[in-house]
Amino acid sequence: MARVDGEPLVPVSAPAPTLAYTDAEGRATDDPAAAVHGELVEYDADGIARRRTRFFLTERELPWLPVSEPAFLLWVLALLMLVWVGIGVVLYLT
């Protein structure tokens, strides 16, 4: 909080963070859901950039995987559940 002589306390606020998003075609966008690249810059009370956070999303396909990644992960989940049930049956029977 800052006080100017004779005035009540006034809170000192830092400038709002600056957001910049880029879509898959490389155009600037305001929609975070469409963004594949972005940057967030946070400033201190003096207006100096103190924290810069960058992100990027890439979608890659695995050449050795014959099915989509979600399908593969579902198969892995099903296999792990079968192993878990198998261990449970073995423990129940012993």
Give pLDDT tens digits along the chain (94 positions). Answer: 555 566 655 555 667 778 888 888 888 888 888 888 888 888 888 888 888 888 887 777 778 888 888 899 999 999 999 999 999 999 999 9
Write down the pTM of the prediction: 0.42
Residues 1 and 39 in one domain: yes
Same domain, 49 and 73: no
Place of tokens 């192993």: 83
> Do 16 and 51 belong together in one domain?
yes
Strand order from edge to edge, sheet including 49-56: 28-29, 18-22, 37-43, 49-56
Indicate the number of domains in the chain.
Answer: 2
Q: Are residues 8 and 54 in the same domain?
A: yes
